[in-house]
Structure 1
């Protein structure tokens, strides 16, 4: 955890250093949002355009690093701690890359976010799949439904399924770059599908477990 904290702290400092460096290079009104066609449709003032992402990264880092200390099932978190820490580091790298793309765009280096965002999110989805497949029951990370939180067996089965589906979703998200204008369908579509499928699956698995338990009690 100390090594992970040091890496994350370094990335946070790097995000602020990059923002300070770009301060005199970007306009007063910064482009910060693009539509599905890659056209700018949102702006921020220079200060918020430069520092909203570093502040977001800082907040997320504090939140995720605090999870092991606040979760009532923290011993379960310890069991897949390296995957949790790897996820936090990768998430920060992803946000830092998105931040750099915004800054470069505002200095005249026009890298289309719709061409690179699906790749970043696809890799993120893939790693989330790995995290899920290695997770143990907890209140913060993984597929959390009333049924997975009530049973270790249902948790494991549901998150193993969700992990496989998210890894596939990561590949689908990357494929979105070949369909300009429809990238977000390739990202949101699979994600919503996984949410629905795993919710139903967790309910069915929990009911199945209850019936098996009742049968054993009767015997």
Structure 2
């Protein structure tokens, strides 16, 4: 499996450099939370607002990678599965890089300091749904990365059925959310729609794996 931590480090360093260039034009206090109309309501010191996300871009994939490499089952995976696992580990870095440089940094340096909810929602659609769903198709059974439920973790057939189905669900919801993020104005309807389209697939696949566990799917155990 290729090491995704290297990509996370490059993205984090790039974000730190871009934030450093904006340091002098950024006020001492910058927003880190906004209301439903995208107006700032919670302010933090400049160093925290500019560098929190770059640190997380590296830290989250690094922690996930350290957990994943301890899973001996991954060594038996094919090349496509190993690449997909690496892509999923690197997802937080890609998502946070996009959010940091096109949402957080822009808000910190703008006059109004307003949030950019449409860009944020589009980044969710692109990385946390479409790209995630695509890679889930290729992840072979393991106990570290994928749709981890009591039923997928106990049966390789349920794992495969769930991930084959889940890939389509995430990609379709991601496309819908991407269109939604470009077409609907910010406000309560926008917020509710984003939450449903973002979190809905995660909730759905949990129950999907439960329901197919009661079907005749065989009893092939995981390799772990």
Give the TM-score of the pair, scaled to structure 1. 0.84
Change in Cα spacing, 1:62 to 1:94, as seen in structure 2 (3 Å) is: same
RCO comparison, higher one (Cα < 8 Å, 6+): 2
Higher CA-based Rg: 1
Give deviations 1:38-64, integer Å, cap 9, x for gaps: 211221111111211111112112123
Change in Cα spacing, 1:5 to 1:55, as seen in structure 2 (3 Å) is: closer
Change in Cα spacing, 1:200 to 1:103, as seen in structure 2 (3 Å) is: closer
Over the residues paired in the alignment, what is the CA RMSD in angstroms? 2.5
Written as runs of structure 1 = structure 2, the 5 A alignment for 1:69-218 is 69-75=69-75, 79=79, 80-100=81-101, 101-108=103-110, 112-124=115-127, 125-177=129-181, 178-180=183-185, 181=187, 182-209=189-216
C-alpha distance in 2, partners of 1:195/1:4?
23
SS of equivalent to 1:30? strand
C-alpha distance in 1, partners of 2:148/2:89?
19
Give 1:76 shift.
5.2
Change in Cα spacing, 1:2 to 1:75, as seen in structure 2 (3 Å) is: closer
C-alpha distance in 1, partners of 2:170/2:43?
32
Give 1:157 shift.
0.4
C-alpha distance in 2, partners of 1:52/1:90?
17
Give 1:5 shift.
4.3
Change in Cα spacing, 1:69 to 1:39, as seen in structure 2 (3 Å) is: same
C-alpha distance in 1, partners of 2:96/2:110?
20
Q: Does structure 2 conserve the Cα–Cα contact (< 8 Å) formed by 1:172 and 1:186?
A: no
Structure 2, unaligned runs of 5 or more = 220-224
Change in Cα spacing, 1:7 to 1:23, as seen in structure 2 (3 Å) is: same
Q: Does structure 2 conserve the Cα–Cα contact (< 8 Å) formed by 1:57 and 1:95?
A: yes
Structure 1, unaligned runs of 5 or more = 214-219
Q: Does structure 1 conserve the Cα–Cα contact (< 8 Å) formed by 2:34 and 2:114?
A: no
SS of equivalent to 2:141? coil
Change in Cα spacing, 1:134 to 1:87, as seen in structure 2 (3 Å) is: same
Give deviations 1:13-44, integer Å, cap 9, x for gaps: 11222222222221111012222322112211
The size of the alignment, in residue pairs, is 212
Give the TM-score of the pair, scaled to structure 2. 0.82
Identify which range, 57-66 or 109-118, moves more after superposition.
109-118
Say whether residues 1:39 and 2:39 are aligned partners. yes
